[in-house]
Structure 1
Amino acid sequence: MKRKEKFENRKTVRKTECRRSRNLGSCPAAEVSKLQKTVNSFAYTLEKAHFLDYVQYASNEKRIFRRAFLTGLLRGFGTAVGVTVLGAVIIYLFQALAKSNLPYIADFISDIIDIIEKTRK
Structure 2
Amino acid sequence: MPETGIKDQSDLGNIPLEEKINTLYRLTNGLAQQMEKSRIAEYTELLHSPWRLIWLNIFSGAARGLGIALGFTFFAATIIYVLQVLGALNLPIIGDYIADIVRIVQHQLELKTF
**Do the structures match in fold with TM over 0.5?**
yes
> What secondary structure sits across from 1:112 in the alignment?
helix
TM-score, with structure 1 as normaliser:
0.67
Question: 1:93 maps to what in 2?
Answer: 82
Choose between structure 1 and 2: higher helix proportion. Answer: 1
The answer to whether residue 65 in structure 2 is matched with residue 82 in structure 1 is no
The range that moved more, 53-62 or 90-99, is 53-62
CA RMSD of aligned residues (A): 2.4
> What secondary structure sits across from 1:63 in the alignment?
helix
* Residues 37 and 119 (structure 1), Cα distance of their counterparts in 2 relative to 1, 3 Å cut: closer
Cα deviation for residue 32 of structure 1 reads 2.7
Equivalent positions of 1:1-121 (< 5 A) are 28-121=17-110
Cα deviation for residue 73 of structure 1 reads 1.0
Structure with the greater relative contact order (CA < 8 A, sep ≥ 6): 1 or 2? 2
TM-score, with structure 2 as normaliser:
0.70
Q: Structure 1: 5+ residue runs without aligned partners? A: 1-10, 16-26
* Residues 100 and 39 (structure 1), Cα distance of their counterparts in 2 relative to 1, 3 Å cut: same
Cα deviation for residue 62 of structure 1 reads 1.5
Tell which structure's C-alpha radius of gyration is larger: 1
Between the two proteins, what is the percent identity of the paired residues? 29
Q: May I ask how many residue pairs the two structures share in their alignment? A: 99
In structure 2, how many angstroms separate the alpha carbons of the residues matched to 1:114 and 1:49? 53
> What secondary structure sits across from 1:116 in the alignment?
helix
Q: What amino acid sits opposite 1:50 in the alignment?
A: R
Q: What amino acid sits opposite 1:78 in the alignment?
A: G
